[in-house]
Amino acid sequence: MLFILQADYIFLLNDLLMSIRKEKFGQLKNGETVYQFILKNKNGLMAKVISYGGTLTELWTPDRKGKRINIVLGYQKLENYLKHSPYFGATVGRYANRIAKGRFKLSGKTYRLATNNSPNHLHGGPRGLALQNWQTEIIKTSEGAALALTCFSPDGAEGFPGNLTTTVTYCLTDKNELKIKYHAVTDQTTVVNFTHHSYFNLSGKESVLDHLLAIKSDRITSTDKTLIPTGNYLHVHNTPFDFRKLAPLGARIFEPHLQLKNAGGYDHNWVLSGWNNRLRSVAVLYDSESGRKIKVATTEPGLQIYTGNFLAGTPTEKKGVKLKNYQAVCLETQHFPDSPNQSHFPSTVLEAGEEFRSETVYGFEVG
């Protein structure tokens, strides 16, 4: 009896320490409610996720002195996500990143997608998963409560073949990690590529160019001026793309390198070393002043580093205040851009009946 009482008590206590709370965030024009979920772990880390776009809207982590700030760009109001958001915190799919000219061939058939990043397709199109209101469920996992969001995308949506059901799960663990798991199934051969599009800023300052970055990678997929991979790899040795050791994002970003000129900064896919479909640590982002650090682990083969080169002019919720370029950085784990047209890249094809699974973990530390 005593044991049962004790067990109940621990369970209750755990529930108090690690929790997910649901509330209303807003309403879409079609009458659907957008919900917000507040995830807390036992150390006081807090994340907020909304059903619209499966979007992480806030993430509060401490600095060396224990001072917490929100380290991702986002909005408090739904209307701003609808009007202005450049994929802030969104779950991006069916295909994250670009597909050349919005065209690809699969099983002998040519598919045409929206070219919403002229002349290319970007991030699943203008009605992609990042712009859908997802179904939500709070679930129990071995690491505690998690939020599962599911989105059904019918055959032909945005030009992609197959009825696709995608589930993304967010768990804020007691080890101070945000674990994001993806699962997808289709009833026809299709292509998929999912990513998480948070814009991180670990200092709260107007630029992240003094943040240090390290990536376990010695190659990028070089791109043309529309940011489509040429098919060649560029070795990072002796280039501004060398982050094999911790280096400031801004140290070489303005060097006259053709790849940087094409993108206005970093907006490139690093080919991650040692890809074997298992979760492994791939990158670190660090702000030495506050001590905030993010460790990235993933099952994916690529990491798009985007330094917010097109952020300037994006409205914030402070009157008259607009964002600046390089005010945040995205760490987008993914398959390579344009894989459906590049047969030597890891495949993004998902067959009917197959289960797609991937996982990315952002771990928060102070150092």
Residue 310 touches ligand GLA, criterion: CB under 6 A: yes
Q: How far is the CB of 45 from ligand GLA (least distance, A)?
A: 25
Q: How many residues does the chain have?
A: 367
Q: Distance (Å, rounded) from C-alpha 184 to C-alpha 186?
A: 7
Q: Which of 218, 267, 287, 338 binds ligand GLA (CB under 6 A)?
A: 267
Q: Phi and psi at residue 212, in whole multiples of 5°?
A: -95, 145
Q: How far is the CB of 300 from ligand GLA (least distance, A)?
A: 14
DSSP label at residue 104: E
Residue 266 touches ligand GLA, criterion: CB under 6 A: no
Q: How far is CA 17 from the centre of its chain?
A: 26
Sole window of 69-77, 214-222, 282-290, 302-310 interacting with ligand GLA (rule: CB under 6 A): 302-310
Residue 223 touches ligand GLA, criterion: CB under 6 A: no
Q: Distance (Å, rounded) from C-alpha 78 to C-alpha 58?
A: 13
Q: How far is the CB of 204 from ligand GLA (least distance, A)?
A: 21
Query: Contact, 92 vs 123, CB < 8 A?
Result: yes
Q: Distance (Å, rounded) from C-alpha 62 to C-alpha 44?
A: 9
Q: How far is CA 222 from the centre of its chain?
A: 21
Instruction: Locate 213 and state its tokens.
Output: 């970055």
Q: Which of 286, 306, 336, 362 binds ligand GLA (CB under 6 A)?
A: 306
Find the catalytic residue in 58, 177, 300, 332: 332
Q: Distance (Å, rounded) from C-alpha 358 to C-alpha 315?
A: 33
Find the catalytic residue in 197, 211, 268, 335: 197
Q: What amino acid is encoded at 148 in this protein? A: A
Our answer to whether residue 332 is catalytic in this structure is yes
With CB under 6 A as the rule, give the number of residues binding ligand GLA.
11
Strand partners, 105: 110
Our answer to whether residue 158 is catalytic in this structure is no
Q: Distance (Å, rounded) from C-alpha 140 to C-alpha 239?
A: 46
Residue 95 touches ligand GLA, criterion: CB under 6 A: no
Residue 87 touches ligand GLA, criterion: CB under 6 A: yes
Q: Which of 272, 330, 350, 361 binds ligand GLA (CB under 6 A)?
A: 330
- Give the footprint of ligand GLA on residues 13-72 (CB under 6 A): none
Query: Which residues are identified as catalytic?
Result: 197, 332
Binding site for ligand GLA (CB under 6 A): 86-87, 97, 122, 227, 267, 304, 306, 310, 330, 332
